[in-house]
A = this chain, B = another copy of it.
Amino acid sequence: MAFKIRAATKEDCKEIFRMITELAVFEKMPDQVKISHEELESSGFCENPLFGCLVAEVPEEHKSKEGFTVVGYGLYFYTYSTWRGRALHLEDLYVMPEFRGRGIGISILSKVAEVAKKMQCARLQLSVLNWNTPSRDFYAAKGAQDLTAAEGWHLIRFDGQSLDNLANDAPKD
């Protein structure tokens, strides 16, 4: 099946938001999505965007059951390693279930890697859930290292009350 990977535009944000919600359902955390497509528009399509995004598009004649032609996305941003400098983090990589097994996921990932190289990033990183074996196997087959398994890195989060408490404890200038 023909498909195209292209940079997302502001007009794609409703479709990207739809797929963000689909991915959260897959990840068993659908209640976690607190943003909106308007938030994507203002954060991603402005003078200093907080993220970049690629979308996969199929021709009209191959649209999904529900009539969608934008069927996958990869959303990323730049980070900074004090060991290696600029890096790229792939926050989400998603292909709608009925379009899997056709090379769309690897094409998005490769295009994101191309962006990373173009921007002089030494690394492309992402997070994956340990029960998501198909994805973990897919990344491993492409030569990725699992840093949590190999080096023991754990992801730590402050939010809500714990973040407020920390900020309230900050020394006053």
**Measuring CB to CB, which residues of chain A are less than 8 angstroms from any residue of chain B?**
5, 20, 23-24, 29, 32-35, 39, 43, 48, 50-51, 75, 77-86, 89, 91-92, 106-107, 109-111, 113-114, 116-117, 122-131, 136, 139, 142-149, 151-159, 161-167, 169-171
Give the contacting residue for A80; candidates B77, B126, B136, B158; CB below 8 A: B77
Residues of chain B contacted by A109 (CB below 8 angstroms): 166
Q: Separation in Å of the A166 CB from the closest CB of chain B? A: 4
| A contact patch SS | mixed
A152 touching B131 by the CB < 8 A rule? yes
Residues of chain B contacted by A161 (CB below 8 angstroms): 143
Residues of chain B contacted by A124 (CB below 8 angstroms): 157-159, 163, 166
Specify how many copies of this chain sit in the oligomer: 2
10 smallest beta-carbon distances between A and B, as pairs: A143-B162, A113-B166, A130-B152, A110-B170, A148-B154, A113-B167, A114-B170, A124-B158, A51-B80, A147-B155
Q: How far is the CA of A170 from the CA of B116 in the complex (A)?
A: 12
Residues of chain B contacted by A81 (CB below 8 angstroms): 35, 91
